Amino acid sequence: MAPRTYFFALLFLVGLISSAADACSLVYEPWWANEKVRAEEDCSFDGGGRYDFLRGNGAQDLGQGRVYQVITDIAEETAVVSDCRSAEQVQVNGLIKDEGYVSCGSLRKTIRFLKPDGILDLSSGESIAELSKILRQRSFEVRTGVTFDDRGARPRDYPDFYCGCKLYYPDSPGAKL
């Protein structure tokens, strides 16, 4: 092969490698490009957080004044459980995926552990404190309240995490927040 052919072959391989590596790369937009969260009637949302990476599924009614919503960011799925009667919330982080290396996807999954197919029953316990205790016993990471660590985010960057209370239990204390 001529040196010129080697050069073009090498250039082609570098292009393939870099495009595969960039496929999952995050593109950080400047702060002025940050948009307000786009929320739907079912409480699903898109574009949350400082860099618009938070996404939320629609709120689900668990009964007994409790709702939940699965939130996805870059590397995790989190279930936010709201007790509309007490206006308390808990954030349940998923377990590390056990299928090996994950490319372009969430490393910590929550959805696949939810009932009826999984071990995660978000309607357990009489209170958020009891639910938290049960979930910790099952090795889930639990945080009281909703604490997505994004210190540079503005209020417009976050959805209403009590939206499910407003949707399913409009007269509850949680719906008033």
pLDDT digits (tens, 9 = 90+) for 125-160: 999 999 999 999 988 889 887 766 555 566 777 888
pLDDT at 17: 47
pLDDT digits (tens, 9 = 90+) for 62-90: 999 999 999 988 767 889 999 999 999 99
Phi, psi of 144 (to 5 degrees): -75, 135
Mean pLDDT of all residues in the chain? 77
**DSSP alpha helices (H): ranges in the chain?**
3-22, 128-137, 163-168
Cα distance between residue 75 and residue 67, in whole Å: 23
> What percent of the chain is modeled with pLDDT above 70?
66
- In this structure, the dihedral spanned by the alpha carbons of residues 91, 169, 87 and 85, taken in order and rounded to 10 degrees, is -110
Residue 20 has pLDDT above 50, yes or no: no
pLDDT at 9: 54
Mean pLDDT of 104-125: 75
37-46, 57-66, 93-102: which has the minimum mean pLDDT? 93-102
pLDDT at 19: 42
